[in-house]
Chains A and B, each alone.
Chain A
C-alpha cells in the first residue's frame, strides 16, 4: 500500500515539475523577448503584412494569458514545437532525426563512466589511504576539474589532427561504407573520441561519490557486525558494504543526467557530432528561438522522467521506502 502511495506522490510531483517547465518556457520565450513574429520577420526579412499573418498564426494578436498560454500548451502537447527560423522546417522533425546520435553518445559514456567510476571508488575506499586510493583520488579530482569541452579540443588536436588516428568530426563517413559490419566499425570509430571525452569527464565524479558513499557505509554498525561474524573481507565488501553504498549512486547518476547533457552539448559541438548538442549550438549562434525552446523542453522532460524512474527504482532497492 505504502509503495503505491509513494509512487503516486512522485508521479504527481513529476507532473507538477513538467507544468512548471512549460510555464518557464512560455515565460522565457514569449513574454521576455517580446514579439516572436518580429524576430522571425527580422531573420527571414518578411514584409509587414506577412509579419501580421505570422502574428495571427502564432496567436499573438490575442491576450498573453490565458489564450496564448493555452494555445502554446495545446501545441506542445500535440508535438508541435514550432518552426525553425533558419531552416523553416518543423523543430520536432529536426529533433527526431538527431536525438538518436545524442542518445548513443550519452548512453555509452554514462554506462562506461558509471561502471568504471564505481569500481575505482570501491577499490580506493576499501584500502583508504593506500597508494591506489591516493593516486586514483588525485586523478579523479583532476578529471573532475577539466572542462569537457577543453578535454575534447585537446583530444581532437592530438589524436585527430596531429596523429590522424581518429576522424575529426561527424558520426559517419560520407558516404558510409557498404556492408553492415564496416558501417558499424565506422560509427564506432567516429564515436570513440567524443565518448572518451565524456567518459573521462565523468568517471572522476562517480569514483569520488562512490568512494565517499562507501566510506560512510564502512562506519555503519551492520558492516561491523558482518566483520564480527568472521566473514571474509571480500564477502563483507560484496554482500554488505557495496550494495548499501550503491543506493545514493542511483539518485546521483540520474541527477547528473542533466550535467551529462550539458557536457554532451559541448562535446558534440567540438567534434561536430550531429546530435542535439551541435544542433543547439547552431541555433544559439543564429538566435533560432524555437529550436532552443524545443531542446529546453525535451531535455527538461527527459531529466524529469529520469528522476521519476529513479524514484521507482528506489522502491525496489530500498525497502524502507516501501514501508513508510
Chain B
C-alpha cells in the first residue's frame, strides 16, 4: 500500500478517452491533493494496526515533548552546580544528604571527605554527578541537544542524498556515472574513520558535529533514492508528462519526488536513529562539543570523571537509557514503515 498509487486516476481516464466523471469537474491540483490525502489516510490506517510502529511513535512523542518542554520541566540553571551541592556529590537516585548528620571522615593517605546520612527525596530523581549537579536536569536538557543533532544532521543528509540520487537517476549518462561514483566512494569509506578525521581537523563544535554526521551518512539514502528514481523514471505517466511538454523540473517535482518520497521517509527515520548513535560514539571518544551537554557528552564526562570505577552507575545509566529509548523509538517507527511501504515484506 504505497502512499501514492502508481497510475494517477485523472490522466489514465483522459488517455483512454472515456467520458468524464459525472461529478462537477475539479482542478487537477485538487484531484492530486484528494488522492494524496486518501492514500495518506490508508497508510495511517495500516500503520495504526502495527503495534511496533505505534509503540515507537508513542515513545518518540514522549521524548520530543521532553526536549521541547525542557524549560518547563526543570530550569536550565539546575544543570550547573547548585547551592548545598557540596554535600550532595554522587547521590544515588532519589536520595538527598541530611545536612545535620554530616561529619568529616579521614581517608587513606590523610585526606578527609565529608560523609552524610541520606534520606529519600524527590530533589534528585536521577541522582547527582561527582560535582553535585542534578543528573535529571542535565538529562532533560541533553535530550534537546541529542535530538537537535540527530534531526538536523538527517535533514541535511537527506537533502544531499535526494539531490544526488534524483539527479543521477533521472538524468542518467555522465551525470549518473559521476554521482554514482561519489556515492559509492562514500559508502565504502568507513564512517568512523572519516568522521574522526574530519572532526579532529574541524574542531569540536555543534555545527561541525552535525556536518560530520551528515557528510558520513548521506550516501546510503542517495543510493536508495537513485534506485527508486530509476524505477519511476520510465513509467507511463512520466512519458505522458514529457509528451505534454513538461519541463524536467516539473517532472522531478510533480512525478518523481512524490513517488520516491514514501521509501525515503522510512529511511529518514532510521537515519535519525543512526545519527543519534553516531553522535554518542563521537562524543564518547572526545569529539563532541564540550560546551553543549548532549546525552553522549554526559556519558563522556561521567566516564572521564571515573563514574565507572566509583560504581556511580546512575551517572552513566540514565543518559545511555535516554539514547537507547529514543533510538529504539525511531527504529521501531522506521521498521514498521518499512514493513508497510516495502511490498516485498508484506505478509502473504
Binding site for B on A (CB under 8 A): 13, 16-17, 20-21, 24-25, 28-29, 32-33, 128, 137, 141-142, 144-151, 153-154, 156-158, 161-162, 168, 208, 212, 215-216, 218-219, 255, 257-259, 261-263, 265-266, 269-270, 280-281, 284-285, 287, 289, 292-293, 295-296, 299-300, 303-304, 307
Please indicate the chain B residues that have their CB under 8 angstroms from the CB of A25 in the complex: 197
Is B155 positioned at the interface, with any CB of A under 8 Å from its CB? no
Q: Of all chain B residues, which has the CB nearest A129?
A: B347
Contact A32 B185 (CB under 8 A): no
Please indicate the chain B residues that have their CB under 8 angstroms from the CB of A29 in the complex: 197, 201
Contact A141 B324 (CB under 8 A): no
Is B116 positioned at the interface, with any CB of A under 8 Å from its CB? no
Contact B185 A20 (CB under 8 A): yes
Alpha-carbon distance between A152 and B198 when the two chains are bound, in angstroms: 25
- A28-B331 in contact given A261-B192, A285-B286, A292-B196 (Cβ < 8 Å): no
- Pick from A218, A270, A299: contact of B303, CB under 8 Å: A270
Alpha-carbon distance between A145 and B201 when the two chains are bound, in angstroms: 29
Contact B345 A281 (CB under 8 A): no
Binding site for A on B (CB under 8 A): 52, 181, 184-185, 187-198, 200-202, 273, 277, 280-281, 284-287, 296, 299, 303, 307-309, 311, 313, 316-317, 319-320, 323-325, 327-328, 331-332, 335, 344-345, 347-348
Contact A161 B324 (CB under 8 A): no
Q: Of all chain B residues, which has the CB nearest A285?
A: B286
Contact B328 A141 (CB under 8 A): yes
Q: Of all chain B residues, which has the CB nearest A280?
A: B196
Please indicate the chain A residues that have their CB under 8 angstroms from the CB of B185 in the complex: 17, 20
Please indicate the chain B residues that have their CB under 8 angstroms from the CB of A162 in the complex: 311, 313
Contact A296 B311 (CB under 8 A): no
Minimum distance in angstroms from B168 CB to a CB of chain A: 16
Alpha-carbon distance between A64 and B194 when the two chains are bound, in angstroms: 22
Contact B308 A156 (CB under 8 A): yes
Minimum distance in angstroms from B80 CB to a CB of chain A: 24
Alpha-carbon distance between A128 and B347 when the two chains are bound, in angstroms: 9
Alpha-carbon distance between A169 and B280 when the two chains are bound, in angstroms: 21
Contact B313 A303 (CB under 8 A): no
- A215-B345 in contact given A150-B280, A259-B192, A284-B287 (Cβ < 8 Å): yes
Contact A150 B299 (CB under 8 A): yes
- Pick from B181, B307, B317, B335: contact of A141, CB under 8 Å: B335
12 contacts between A and B (CB under 8 A): A20-B189, A32-B201, A142-B328, A145-B277, A145-B323, A145-B324, A147-B277, A147-B296, A149-B299, A150-B323, A258-B192, A270-B284
Contact A17 B188 (CB under 8 A): yes
- Pick from B299, B313, B348: contact of A219, CB under 8 Å: B348
Contact A161 B191 (CB under 8 A): no
